[in-house]
Amino acid sequence: MSNIIIGTAGHIDHGKTALIRALNGFEGDSTNEEKERGITIDLSFSNMSKGQQNIAFIDVPGHEKLVKNMIAGAFGFDYVMLIISANEGIKPQTVEHIEIINLLGLKEIIVVITKKDLVTIEELELKKEEILEFLEEFNFEIKFISCVSIYDETSIEKLKSQLFSIKNSTKQEENFFRFYVDRVFSPKGIGTVVTGTVLGKKCLLDEKVFICQSQKETKIKNIQVHNQNALEANISSRAALNLQNVNITNLKKGDLITKKGHIRGFDGIDISFKCLKNKKLNHNQTYTLFVGAKKVDVKVLLFDCITNLETGFATLKANEQLFTIFGEKIILRSGNETICGGTILNPIIDPMKKNQKKRLLEALDKKNFTSAYKELLEAHKKGLGIISSTQRFALSHEEAISFAKNMNDVFVDVKELVIYPLDTKNEIKDYIKEIYTKNSYALLSNSSINLRLKWASQAFIQLCLDELVNENFLIQETSLYKNANTKEDFAKDLENIVLQRLKEEDIEPTAPYNIYDDLDIDRKLGDDILKSLTAKKQVIRLQHNLFIHFESLNKIVKTMKEIIKEDGYIELSNFKQRFDLSRKYLITYLDYLDNYSDIKKVDTRRIFN
């Protein structure tokens, strides 16, 4: 079934809600307050179907103070139905709605002139010309213009036919599912239900989704599309999602539901903006940000050293995390005034110098992702994750990799999805050279170096190792690398070094991995050396990570037996009085005593048999 979402816009009392009722019988003003005041306070949702075609209506408020709800609905529109009464024409709120529609980048509109029964045919034609002339200054694509009266059934039927003639959703599929919550409720016996418009990609029954604001993963246990149970909700569908094990208090209007791992939250975003006529954006001033169905106060920081601007770049700082993606449209308002519209250019805040950030935003504004990557790599010398490109640039992994591969002076690790500036290679090579220069017996593998340089992928490290081999600085032996100037076989030397190290450490031997790191040898090689020394009885293994020189062990055992002779027993307390060792060593040595036939354990004490 084709789904189209049409949002209404227009001045109060121009007949938006009455028109929807005439089209599909839906009574939009459902609350007592709405009925008493005769205006639509919140968003109303309804639909009408014909065969495999479905049109969903989002009826938004027209009252000046309630424009914020109109903005919350507009992000989900495919088309806008601009409703203007024949007897009043374009009014202040009509103009504000038109400006907001334009700021949000909604270009395809339908013009419906209502209450045609209140004017003559001549007046109606003049009003139509006046409206079209006003709309010329905006770059709208007007699908059609229709004149109706709710009391003229023929005009309503004609409008229905025209609506069903328009094309399916114009929204492009994105890389992942997104869903801004516009309503939250909890029907008895059902659990928590949220409504909203499906963006990005469809969602499926029993699919796991992620609530960004509460950082909670949940599952969709039921889907309703236009009041009918469904197995999935496609892009541009109005849907109600029943979420599993989510308390209603953990959700609110404006929260974003998506797939886990796709979007990170930041307390700031960078935007480009354009103000309405005769409006300016002021530096260091607080405004209300509208993005999707979310409303939040933000402080505006202009990039140019000017107190106010009509157009430009700005950083918006909030007191909570914002979960946004590249290209999303936003509105900034001050009180009841719309100031400007904008586009999110940088949804991920990076530590960057101001001039560098300016260059990044200029590149993003032109969708020059190659230049944007270059600027970001200057700030991410130790690697830029390609996986973040879905949020940063609204690119798929494949598109992001393609862009990266076409760049010069970078290394792209396709497996780990990381891009490195090629000059960072010298930092890795210098690090490796320093190890092998200081320690001629160093013997490391790729994985050993990766444990020390966790930011560098193994593929990038391998590139550096290969170059050092080609430069005759290193020699590769199986998976290990040794200094090219070191004698051929120094395994025996390393064995003696480890043995001497343990002898010097006496009864407080270091954990094996610390020894390996200090000696710059691979962990597997180090394990093999300890196995060899253990087999020769030169080293005794007391625990999986505790090896001691045989002479040191004999010495401590002798001393422990002397304590038993003196005190009649040995336990933790009197052992600790003689040796200020950690419990790890004391308990291990006490346990080792149990191996001797002349020693017996009684409760916590060891005594002679």
Looking up residue 100, the CATH number of its domain turns out to be 3.40.50.300
- Residue-wise pLDDT for 79-97, tens only, equals 889 999 999 999 988 888 8
Tokens of 436: 């092998």
pLDDT band at 487 (very low <50, low <70, confident <90, very high): low
Q: Say whether both 366 and 460 belong to one domain.
A: no
430 shares its domain with 417: no
Kindly state whether residues 526 and 573 are assigned to the same domain.
Answer: yes
- 21 and 93 together in one domain: yes
212 part of a folded domain? yes
In a domain, 565, yes or no: yes
- Are 9 and 116 within one domain? yes
Cα angle 181, 294, 26 (rounded to 5 degrees) comes to 50
Question: Do both 69 and 143 map to the same domain?
Answer: yes
Distances in whole angstroms, Cα of residue 224 to Cα of each of 6, 42, 568: 19, 21, 80
For residue 578, being part of any structural domain is answered with yes
Q: Which amino acid is at 456?
A: A
User: Could you give the 3-state DSSP secondary structure of residue 548?
Assistant: strand
Q: Report pLDDT digits (tens) over 549-571.
A: 999 999 999 999 999 999 999 99
Q: Which residues contact 68 (CB under 8 A, 6 or more apart)?
A: 288, 290, 295, 333
Q: For residue 200, is it within any domain?
A: yes
Element (DSSP H or E) covering residue 553: helix 550-567
Task: Report residue 140 as tokens.
Answer: 């709208």
Distance between CA atoms of residues 279 and 273, nearest Å: 12
pLDDT tens per residue across span 307-345: 778 899 999 999 999 999 999 999 999 988 889 999 999
CA distance 400 to 408: 15
Can you give the pLDDT at residue 60? 62
pLDDT above 70 covers what percent of the chain?
92
Give me the sheet containing 418-421, strands edge to edge: 384-385, 418-421, 410-413
Q: Decide if 281 contacts 336 (C-beta within 8 A).
A: no
Place of tokens 């016996």: 189
Task: DSSP letter for 521, please.
Answer: B
**Is 240 contained in some domain?**
yes
Q: Do 303 and 433 belong to one domain? A: no
Confidence band, pLDDT 50/70/90 cuts, at residue 70:
low
Looking at the structure of the chain, the number of domains it has is 6
DSSP class of residue 262 equals S
CB 546 within 8 A of CB 556: no
Do 392 and 325 belong to one domain? Answer: no
CA–CA separation, 502 and 549 (whole Å): 6
User: Is the same domain home to 28 and 155?
Assistant: yes
Mean pLDDT, the chain, whole residue set:
88
Domain-located, residue 172: no
How far does CA 477 lie from the centroid of its chain? Answer: 43
Query: Which one of 483, 510, 534 terminates a domain?
Result: 483
Residue 182's domain comprises 178-258
Same domain? For 537 and 465 the reply is no
The two structure tokens encoding residue 82: 């601009």
Q: Which two tokens stand for residue 322?
A: 């914002």
Given pLDDT bands bounded at 50, 70 and 90, which one contains residue 100? confident
DSSP class of residue 423 equals T
The most confident of the ranges 6-15, 31-40, 408-417 is 408-417
d(CA 204, CA 64): 38
Rounded to two decimals, the pTM is 0.76
Identify the CA nearest to 418 among candidates 438, 402, 404, 437: 404
User: 194-203, 377-386, 478-487: which range is least confident on average?
Assistant: 478-487
* pLDDT at site 45: 65
Domain boundary among 464, 483, 502: 483
Does residue 103 share a domain with residue 196? no
- Residue 171 in any domain: the answer is no
201 inside domain: yes
- Boundary residue ending a domain (258, 281, 312): 258
Could you report the per-residue pLDDT of 258-307, keeping only the tens digit for each?
999 889 999 999 999 999 888 999 999 999 999 988 999 999 999 876 77
- Classify residue 542 by burial, with Cβ atoms within 10 Å: 0-12, 13-18, 19+: middle
Residue found by looking up tokens 């002139």 in the block: 113
The Cα–Cα gap between 375 and 357 comes to 8
Amino acid at 154: T
Cα torsion angle, 510, 513, 518, 523, sign: positive
pLDDT reported for residue 1: 63
129 lies in the same domain as 72: yes
Q: What six digits make up the tokens of 535?
A: 């087999």
